Amino acid sequence: MRPEKNSETSFPDHPESASRARDEVREWLGADHPAYENVRLAVSELVTDAVRHAGGEPGDGSLTLGLLALGDLLRVEVVDQDGGTTPLMAWPESSLLSESGRGLVLVGLLSGGSWGCRSLERGRTVWCEIPAIPRDPFPGPEGFFDPPETLDLPEADGPAFPV
pLDDT of residue 3: 58
Q: What is the pLDDT of residue 1?
A: 47
Query: Half-sphere exposure of 96 toward its Cβ, with a 13 Å CA cutoff?
Result: 14
Q: How many CA atoms lie within 13 A of 103 on its CB side?
A: 23
Instruction: Give the residue ranges of the chain where pLDDT is below 50.
Output: 1-2, 85-87, 89-92, 144-145, 151, 153, 156, 158-163
Per residue in 30-57, is it b (16+ CB within 10 Å) or e — as a string? eeebebbebbbbbbbbbbbbbbbbbbee
Q: Are 19 and 65 in contact (CB under 8 A)?
A: no
Is residue 14 within 8 A of residue 58, CB to CB? The reply is: yes
Ordered structural domains, the chain, with CATH: 7-131 (3.30.565.10)
Cβ(42)–Cβ(107) below 8 Å: yes
pTM equals 0.72
